[in-house]
Structure 1
Amino acid sequence: MKIIDKAIKPYEIHINNNSYNVEEFTGNTDKKGNELTKNHGYFTSIESAVEKIVKLKVNSNDDIVSLNEFLGRYKSLKESISQTLSV
């Protein structure tokens, strides 16, 4: 099973029996046409996977910001994603 949602784009959460895997589509495909992804970690809970996505999204911007601005972005993004996914 996969969780694909605009709130967590460009990331996806792939769920198997033992873990929640955070994947990012690279924009490439292999010779067979399968989408290639970059793995950002294996997590034992959906909450941990969402937390990783929040960190990746906050850190994807190269802006120089104050600590307060960073924490504000982090909290806002985490709340937004958590509400969307009902975590």
Structure 2
Amino acid sequence: MIIKKSLINKSIEYILQNIDEEISIEDVANHCNFSKYHFSRMFKEETGVSIYAFIKRMRMDQSSVSLKVEKDKTITDIGV
């Protein structure tokens, strides 16, 4: 259990550090030395959400913050 949680934390840290990049489930799984299928199952089992949904949510959260902070940028600029 502790190893799984550590691995999930490692993957979340990787996602947050690379959120501006085009990261895929496979990228995250490779970073943690797992196949994307096994890693996807494990991530959902531990967090309750799919890794795809988690990445998408983190990007949405980042965009939301950017809209509030970067008032000189348009929605299109932030979305790109």
TM over 0.5: no
Larger strand share, 1 or 2: 1
Q: TM-score, normalised by structure 1?
A: 0.30
Larger helix share, 1 or 2: 2
